[in-house]
Structure 1
Amino acid sequence: MPKKHKGLLLTFCCILLLSIITAGCGGGQSGSTDEAGNEHITLEFWTIALQPTFNDYFNTLIAEYEKDHPNVKIEWKDYPYDAITDKLLTSIASGGSPDVVNLNTEFASQMGSKGAVVDLNEYLSDEQKGAYFEGIFNSTVIDGKAYALPWYTGTEVLFINTKIAKEAGLDPSNPPATREELAEWGRQVKAKTGKAGYAQQLVSKLFPIEGVSILTEDKTAAAFNTPEAVAMINNMKKLMDEGVIIKEDANFTKQIQYYSGEQTAFQLGGPTFINFIKTAAPDVYKNTIAVPLPTGQGDLRLSNSMNLVVPAKSEHPKEAVEFAAFVTNAENQTSFSKAANTLPSTKASIQDPFFSETDGSLEAQAKVVSAQSLAKATDYMVGVPNAQDVNSAIARGLQNILLNGQDAQKTLNEVEQEVNGILQQ
C-alpha cells in the first residue's frame, strides 16, 4: 500500500468511516446449518496485488485448509495497492465486512487504534504469538493489544550499480557501511559521472534511522522536535542541493524509474525491488549487487511487513483468526517466501537453508543479506496510535522543509503540534 498522502480529505473520510465501523451494524458474511446441525461458514479473505501471479499457491493453500476444515469455505479476493484501503473502509461502513485482510503495518496500526480490528490476544496462545520475530510482531501491538499477525516481510539492503560505481572510481567489493560513507560515495558519483547517488521517499522512518524517536516512550506525545532532528534534516537538504539525493519525494515507482534508467547509482530497498528492475532494465539488473544496508545513528534494522488482520465486524472472528494463523504459520510462510522472493516473519522459517544459501544471483544475495537482520528487525512505527495520520503529518513537514524551502525549526514546531493533536483523538 503506498504511503503517499491523500490530503485532509482522506484523513476526514477515514475518521468518518472508522467511526461508522465502530458504531455500525455487524458484518455481512453469513453462515448456514446443515441437516445434522453443523454450521457452514464462508470467510472472505482479501490480499493485495497477489493475483494472478500467485494463484496456484493460494488455490492450493485454500484447498488444504478447506479439506481440514470441511465446515469452512474461503472466498479469496485480491485488490491493487491503491484500492484496498478505500475498499475496506467502504465495505465495512456499508454493513459488510471481510474476515481476514492483508494490510501493511501502518494501516493495520491505524485500524487497531480505532478499535476497527480484533485484538488477537483473545484467540491466540503465547506459543502462537511467540512464533514470530518479536520486533516484527510488536509493530502492531498498541497498549498491550495485538492487532495483526505478521506475514511476509523484508528488510532493506543496498543495491549498487557496479558499472556506475566503477566509473566513479569506487570499489563495489568494499561498500559503504554507514550513511556518512554512503553520502561520500554519492558525492563521488555525482562529481565523476553527473548521476545522483539515490532517491528516497520523505517519510517518518528517516528520523529513527538517525536515532531520533518519533514519539515518547509511552506513545502519548511527539519526540522528534530536537536539535538532532534539525541537524539531520539540514544535512539531508544539503545532500539534495549537491545532487547526492534526488530532490524529490520519490515513491517506490519513481525510485525504480531512476535506478532502472541509471539516473541513480544506489537503491535502498527490499529484495522485491529486484523483480521490478529485472523486468524494466535487464542490463542494469546484471550490473547490480546487494550488500548490507549502511546504518545511520540509530543503527536500526527496519522491517517492511505485510500483515493479516481480522476486522471487528467479522461475523466469525474465531474462525477468521484460525485461518490467519494458518496462512502465517512457519510452514506456509517458508513456502510463500520461496515462491515470492520475500522473507518470513516466523522464527522457525529462517532456519531453512534456503535463507542462508546463495547461488550467486542478485536475488540470493539480497535474500541472505536481508535475512541476516530479521532477528533485530522492527517496524519504525512500532505501536504508534493513528500511525497513518502521524506518518502523513511528518511527511508533509519534510516536504515543506526539503522541497518547498520552509524553515526546519519552525516547521518541526508546527508538525509537533499537529502530531500531538492526532495522538489525542
Structure 2
Amino acid sequence: MSCFVNLLLSLVLLLSIVPAAHAVQKIEFWTMSLKPKFIPYFQELVARYEAAHPDVKLVWVDFPWDILQLKLITAIAAGKPPALVNLSVPWAEEMARDGLLEPVDAYLAAPGKPVDYTDAALADLRFQGKIYGFPHYSNVNVIAYNRTILAAAGITRAPQNMDQLLEQAVTIAARTGKPGYAPALGKIDGFLMQQGLDLIRDGRAVFNSPAHVALIRKLAVTYKANGFLKDKLFAEDNFPAVVDAYLGGRLGMMVSAPTAIRRIQTDAPDIYAQTGIFPMPPGPTGINDGGWMFHFAIPKGVKAADLPAITAFARYLTGDANQLAFARIAGVMPTTRQALANPYFRQLPASSVDAAVGAGAAEQALMVAAHSMNSARSLYVSGIDDYDELRRFLVQAVEAGVTGRRDIQQALDEAVQIWNRKLAKGKTP
C-alpha cells in the first residue's frame, strides 16, 4: 500500500513541475465581400500574425455585404459575436446608437505610442463623444481633366470652390460645345452636406432654406448652359455614363476616385495621355468629396479579458503597413498618416513625370488624393427609417427645379413637407 501511495505522490509531484500547455486565444474577424479577390492577402496576413503570436489563433470569415449585418445581430443576440467585424460608417453609427458596439478609444494606439489614424477617419467613427472602431480604408475624389478641352476653353487653374467649378463647366460648354462637369445629382443629399447645407435640423427637414434654393439655382443655371453632362445626371449611379463620356473625349472634367484613372489608361490611352489632375475643392466645411470609410468594430458581448489581444490584432490589421498593402491591391486610400506619407502616394516614378503629355496621371491622382485624405468624411443621414424613399423625393424635387420643369422653391417646399410628415410619424410612440 505504501508503495502505491508513494507512486501517486511521485506522479502528483511530476505533474506539478511539468508546465501546462499554453492556452491559445481564438480571434474571429469578419469581413464584407472581400472573397475571392483578397484571399491571398488575408491568408498571408493571418500566417504572419500567428507566427509572431503563437498564443493566438485567427479565424477569418467573409460574408456578402447584404447578409453581414443580419449575421452580426444574430450572433450578438446569441452571445457569440466575432471579435472584430468589418462595417461601413452608417452601419456603425446605427449599431453604436443601439448599444451593439464597444467604444475603443483606449485601444487605438499601443501603450506609449501616438494614434496614427487620420483625424478625419477618427471623426467618422466618433458617435456621442466616443470612437467605435479601428479605421481601415476610405477614398476621396480628384478631378481628372482633359488638357485639350480645358486649353480650348482657356482654363489653366484648378477650381477653388464649387462656384468656380460650375463657372468652369459653363465656360467649357460655351467655348468647346462639350459639357464640363458631371455631378452625381442622384446623390444630392451628400452634395448638399459637403457644401455645408444640412438636410435635417432639430428633427425637421430644412433643405428649402434660402441657401439651399440658391445652390440649386446655380445648378439650374449650369444645366441650362449645357455645362453638365446630362446623361443619367439624376440617376442613383451616373458614374458609368460619366466614365464613358470622358473616355470618348466628350467631357472636360471627370470627378472620381484615383482608381478610375487606371481605367482611362487601359481603355483609352490617347485620352489618358492628355489627362491632368486637379484636387476636388473642399466644401465650406472643409470636407473633401468622395469619402466612404470602412473599419473594424468590436461587437457588444466580447469578453473584457479578451480585449487586449483583440485590440492588439485590430491595430495590426489596420496598421500602416497592412493598410498600404491593402490599398495598393484594392485601389483605395489608407487612413493612417504613415501609409499616406509613403512614397507610393508621394513620389512620381521617374518614368512618369512628363506632365506635358499627361503621363503619370494615375500617380498624380494618388498624390493629390493623399493630400486630401485628412479631410475626407463619410457623409450620410442617420436614424431615419426608409431613408432611401425620402431621398427619392428630394432627388425628384431637385431634378424638377434644375431642369426648369418646376419652380425651385415650390419643389423643395413640397419635398420638405413629405419629409416632415415622415419624420413626425417616426416620433410617434
Shorter-chain TM-score tier: 0.7 to 0.9
- Number of residue equivalences: 381
- Name the stretch that deviates more: 40-49 or 356-365: 40-49
User: Given the alignment, which residue of 70, 73, 78 partners 1:89?
Assistant: 70
Alignment partners' CA distance in 2, 1:105 and 1:76: 21
Q: How does 1:63-102 map to 2 (within 5 A)?
A: 63-78=47-62, 83-90=64-71, 92-93=73-74, 97-102=81-86
CA displacement at 1:222 relative to structure 2? 5.3
Match of 2:31 in 1: 46
Indicate whether 1:61 and 2:61 are aligned: no
Match of 1:408 in 2: 412
Indicate whether 1:210 and 2:195 are aligned: yes
Match of 2:254 in 1: 267
With structure 1 as the length reference, what TM-score do the two structures score? 0.75
Match of 1:248 in 2: 234
Q: How does 1:82-161 map to 2 (within 5 A)?
A: 83-90=64-71, 92-93=73-74, 97-121=81-105, 123-124=107-108, 130-161=115-146
Match of 1:236 in 2: 219
Alignment partners' CA distance in 2, 1:357 and 1:399: 41
CA displacement at 1:147 relative to structure 2? 1.8
Q: Verify the 8 A CA contact 1:159 1:288 in the aligned structure 2.
A: yes
CA displacement at 1:206 relative to structure 2? 1.3
Alignment partners' CA distance in 1, 2:144 and 2:166: 14
CA displacement at 1:142 relative to structure 2? 0.9
Residues 107 and 91 of structure 1: is their aligned pair in 2 closer, same or farther, counting only changes over 3 Å? closer
Alignment partners' CA distance in 2, 1:250 and 1:58: 33
Alignment partners' CA distance in 1, 2:81 and 2:246: 40
Alignment partners' CA distance in 1, 2:423 and 2:266: 40
Supply the AA of the counterpart residue of 1:248: F
Residues 422 and 270 of structure 1: is their aligned pair in 2 closer, same or farther, counting only changes over 3 Å? farther
Match of 2:323 in 1: 333
Q: Verify the 8 A CA contact 1:393 1:415 in the aligned structure 2.
A: no
C-alpha distance after superposition, 1:270-293 (max 9, x if no partner): 212224434444443333221111
Indicate whether 1:353 and 2:343 are aligned: yes
- Name the stretch that deviates more: 234-243 or 360-369: 234-243
Q: Verify the 8 A CA contact 1:179 1:296 in the aligned structure 2.
A: yes
Match of 1:398 in 2: 394
Residues 195 and 231 of structure 1: is their aligned pair in 2 closer, same or farther, counting only changes over 3 Å? closer
C-alpha distance after superposition, 1:239-274 (max 9, x if no partner): 334433333225244443443344433222221222
User: Given the alignment, which residue of 145, 164, 169 partners 1:181?
Assistant: 164
CA displacement at 1:116 relative to structure 2? 2.9
CA displacement at 1:62 relative to structure 2? 1.7
Q: Verify the 8 A CA contact 2:197 2:211 in the aligned structure 1.
A: yes
- Name the stretch that deviates more: 70-79 or 60-69: 70-79
Residues 226 and 195 of structure 1: is their aligned pair in 2 closer, same or farther, counting only changes over 3 Å? closer
Alignment partners' CA distance in 1, 2:249 and 2:227: 14
Residues 421 and 309 of structure 1: is their aligned pair in 2 closer, same or farther, counting only changes over 3 Å? farther
Alignment partners' CA distance in 2, 1:77 and 1:162: 46
Supply the AA of the counterpart residue of 2:295: N
Q: Verify the 8 A CA contact 1:51 1:78 in the aligned structure 2.
A: no
Residues 307 and 249 of structure 1: is their aligned pair in 2 closer, same or farther, counting only changes over 3 Å? same
Residues 244 and 195 of structure 1: is their aligned pair in 2 closer, same or farther, counting only changes over 3 Å? closer
Q: Percent identity?
A: 22
Residues 86 and 41 of structure 1: is their aligned pair in 2 closer, same or farther, counting only changes over 3 Å? same
For the residue of structure 2 that corresponds to 1:403, the secondary structure is helix
Alignment partners' CA distance in 2, 1:395 and 1:174: 34
Match of 1:22 in 2: none
Supply the AA of the counterpart residue of 2:393: G
Residues 295 and 141 of structure 1: is their aligned pair in 2 closer, same or farther, counting only changes over 3 Å? closer
Q: Verify the 8 A CA contact 2:102 2:298 in the aligned structure 1.
A: yes
C-alpha distance after superposition, 1:43-81 (max 9, x if no partner): 1331444642x44433322211111232433333445xx
Match of 1:28 in 2: none
* Structure showing greater Rg: 2
CA displacement at 1:331 relative to structure 2? 2.9
For the residue of structure 2 that corresponds to 1:155, the secondary structure is coil
Supply the AA of the counterpart residue of 1:132: Y
Match of 1:343 in 2: 333
Alignment partners' CA distance in 2, 1:385 and 1:225: 19
CA displacement at 1:186 relative to structure 2? 1.8
Structure 2 unaligned segments of length 5 or more: list them.
Answer: 1-19, 354-359
Match of 1:365 in 2: 364
More helix by share: 2
Residues 138 and 394 of structure 1: is their aligned pair in 2 closer, same or farther, counting only changes over 3 Å? farther
With structure 2 as the length reference, what TM-score do the two structures score? 0.75
